[in-house]
Structure 1
């Protein structure tokens, strides 16, 4: 059986080489393609550049080939843009042309081939899903409805840290407790539910499956089968594991959360105005025939990944930078004490009165962007960009990290310096008003979660700095901030032990 598979693979490779050469010659005559390394048949540039297409590696290629370049990864065209003007073209000026999403073999599994909102193609389904998700998740009304809950969760973190043995001396891995906080923040909005502790069996199961999903989806290990479809048989084992994890997660969402909410709603007489949480709005849209049950479950899948983990990564980066820059941490604490009063705990409305806190958040999102390449875009049809022809269904990556860290556009970008957002970059906001700084993207496919992420970041970092001096563990002068990148994610490699010394009893 293995020999038969090998024979078929070799035959497929031979045929694909001939086809690739023919297509390459035809396209060479027809298209003016962006510059890039010279591809070889079948493999394209994969052998030259490897699997790890992270933001720093793509930045090195941009320095060599320019602000727009093309990589041929097997049968896929990958176009990378690295200038504010080109980013504006992709995300704004030609937002419709480049408004679709490219997926891969693994993301197809986890999104039901685009039945969600984040990874669906640009069109009627996306518009419908975005509209249905906006009212229950992404409005200022939602922020005001749930801010007291976020403040309560942050207060619970502070109390649990104070009770934790050794947190003030040997330290603790704070991320674990913050992860529980973030799940509670989002599950309050989604299901009017929360988990009492990190040991809650349902929370542990949910966290484990979500973590496995993230690991499988963000890994570079499956790229060879995605770039070169004839090699896909060798991915069977990997894709089978993905299918199993997907089924377990979807079943968990359905049995323990969506169906439970349906039962609760069926026992009460509710109107649209009286709906308590996001899933009620989503289920109402399903009852009206606007979406189906699979769409409901994939909305839950999107929130579990896109809203919880990305915000958690940013909180973790912010804490690490404050630990490693005690002078910035003190300056932030002084602002909190002088504006709010010593011991007066920060609330969501207070975050807008604290310019240095806002600057710390902006600087964290600039230097340590959670999605440094944004979510990939795609053009459904042949398009033009930067004077070049872009073949249909090309994967378009905007290197947003390099836009925000290019020394040609920023003063000493390698430094963590919040003051830049109070001085030379005072007019730059996180909402995409400047195409050098796009932590949430901009335009039609921007991340709507910005309206939730910014206040949660402000409340969490503010409460921690108010209540604790954040220090590295004994024997260390700084935390290790080595990066761990994925398909398009960026988080800290080691979940650090942090000493949290109470400032007030």
Structure 2
């Protein structure tokens, strides 16, 4: 059977599958919130397709604009399945906090099973005793405050070593640097010590796992469509992403397994790292591997992309960069390094970081939730098993809450701004989510972003590599990134009149 006939047969079978699935589904009494008109079979999927095709605004921006017409709670359709979109802080707080138990499960695409050990990792599994056990493991080991604090000196040394590497590379390239790869590698080393123990120092692992993280992120765009039309996994011409997912799964396992073996053969293995927790609970080896990979996946891209966005904003706002440098350098006293202790005492640095989180939330549509029982949201009856997404981008750009939301204004987060201590604003700043499934790595992420950014600003003045400055265009699959990785010029702070050359 040739491939064209395969496609025709598969599509016919797919249409039959959709019709039968619709008839088999129990009749719902749910009265859905209003939303944009949908097309037969594909629903509102065409808006996603326009985004993937390029040239169109990104989906979270489109949904934000739609919410201004249809309201803070609305319905969109991916194929024949409804998704509830929340775009205001009242609805977000209801989903994430007040009714977090009702919306605590995950809507994870079929394709993701290959990189989540069949959905048995903390990120991918539904709420319940198993999830609670993993959550305690992450909070009690990988992201435990005492474990993080024991790494303080190593974390500071890593930041200084990174700035030295950036300086050396910029000297080779006439003062021009692409800093993202160095920031990513720095973050991988920090996370590696929390996962495997303080003696982790595997350069090959650091270099090797970075592209794996990118590959998993790049799979996510296709996974949304494969979930809408499950039959496409049987169409020969469209099965490449499934083969790619299996290949990535095998590469992740071959990358992490040696580190587990090294740990197991150690005469004095660390008893406070995340791997120790996973091994002590006798999880299957594949689950252990992907629970570890998940920490890298969720930490590395989010942290490094936020730092890159921060540098881009500071290049485009030199007065803000000068003000930040004055704080991180200690005013008239030139610091050789910025320490963790000092970072926690720098209000303007924290304001800059928060403003970057607000303007460029790494997960602008959050992580899709799924209702675990029939419930209500903002007065609307929502059936069990319904997907719910919180548009964090919309909440962070709500002009009813934020003055001039499109402007980069760190001052809005300083204590003297009375408006920023209102309940509305507290509930409208959700870069890490909220409630039961708030990001477990929030504290580490904020610390790593602040420490890295402070040392980069302390050592270098960051300037545009060309007259136009950094390209601030968004790119979005599952996470928000810069469409074009940051390219910048740097000048040593010890001699502001010369560039590196």
TM-score by length of 1: 0.89
**Residue number in structure 2 paired with 1:315:** 307
Residues 202-241 of structure 1 aligned to structure 2 (within 5 Å): 202-217=205-220, 219=221, 221-234=222-235, 235-241=238-244
The alpha-carbon deviation at position 203 of structure 1 amounts to 3.3
The alpha-carbon deviation at position 205 of structure 1 amounts to 2.5
**Residue number in structure 2 paired with 1:86:** 91
**Residue number in structure 2 paired with 1:31:** 30
1:70 aligns with 2:62: no
Say whether the 8 Å CA contact 1:169–1:501 is kept in structure 2: no
Say whether the 8 Å CA contact 2:112–2:223 is kept in structure 1: no
Cα distance in 1 for residues equivalent to 2:483 and 2:37: 33
* Structure 2 counterpart of 1:253, from 245, 256, 259: 256
Q: Give the count of matched residue pairs.
A: 483
Distance 1:421 1:168, change over 3 A: farther
Residues 21-420 of structure 1 aligned to structure 2 (within 5 Å): 26-27=27-28, 30-47=29-46, 50=49, 52=51, 54-166=59-171, 169-191=174-196, 192-194=198-200, 200-217=203-220, 219=221, 221-234=222-235, 235-254=238-257, 256-264=258-266, 267-268=267-268, 275=271, 277-286=273-282, 291-338=283-330, 341-420=333-412
**Residue number in structure 2 paired with 1:483:** 474
**What's the Cα RMSD here?**
2.5
Say whether the 8 Å CA contact 1:167–1:499 is kept in structure 2: no
Unmatched 5+ stretches in structure 1 = none
Cα distance in 2 for residues equivalent to 1:129 and 1:493: 34
Distance 1:385 1:503, change over 3 A: same
Residues 153-184 of structure 1 show CA distances to partners (whole Å, capped at 9, x for unaligned) of 11001222232253684411111211111111
The alpha-carbon deviation at position 228 of structure 1 amounts to 2.0
Distance 1:11 1:107, change over 3 A: closer
Q: What secondary structure sits across from 2:437 in the alignment?
A: coil
Cα distance in 2 for residues equivalent to 1:382 and 1:319: 45
Cα distance in 2 for residues equivalent to 1:137 and 1:495: 29
Distance 1:307 1:450, change over 3 A: same
Q: What secondary structure sits across from 2:190 in the alignment?
A: helix
Cα distance in 1 for residues equivalent to 2:185 and 2:224: 32
Residues 412-451 of structure 1 aligned to structure 2 (within 5 Å): 412-422=404-414, 423-424=416-417, 427=420, 434-451=426-443
Distance 1:19 1:245, change over 3 A: closer
Residues 338-366 of structure 1 show CA distances to partners (whole Å, capped at 9, x for unaligned) of 36932242111111211111100100100
Cα distance in 1 for residues equivalent to 2:364 and 2:147: 27
**Residue number in structure 2 paired with 1:492:** 482
Cα distance in 1 for residues equivalent to 2:475 and 2:126: 28
* Structure 2 counterpart of 1:501, from 484, 488, 491: 491
**Residue number in structure 1 paired with 2:54:** none
**Residue number in structure 1 paired with 2:499:** none
The alpha-carbon deviation at position 91 of structure 1 amounts to 0.5
Residues 362-418 of structure 1 show CA distances to partners (whole Å, capped at 9, x for unaligned) of 001000111111111111222211111222212111011111111121100100010
Say whether the 8 Å CA contact 1:432–1:440 is kept in structure 2: no
Cα distance in 2 for residues equivalent to 1:405 and 1:379: 26
The alpha-carbon deviation at position 448 of structure 1 amounts to 1.3
Distance 1:155 1:4, change over 3 A: closer
TM-score by length of 2: 0.90
Q: What secondary structure sits across from 2:426 in the alignment?
A: coil
The alpha-carbon deviation at position 64 of structure 1 amounts to 2.3
Unmatched 5+ stretches in structure 2 = 52-57, 496-501
Cα distance in 2 for residues equivalent to 1:343 and 1:48: 50
**Quick check: 382-391 or 201-210, which moved more?**
201-210
Distance 1:193 1:376, change over 3 A: farther
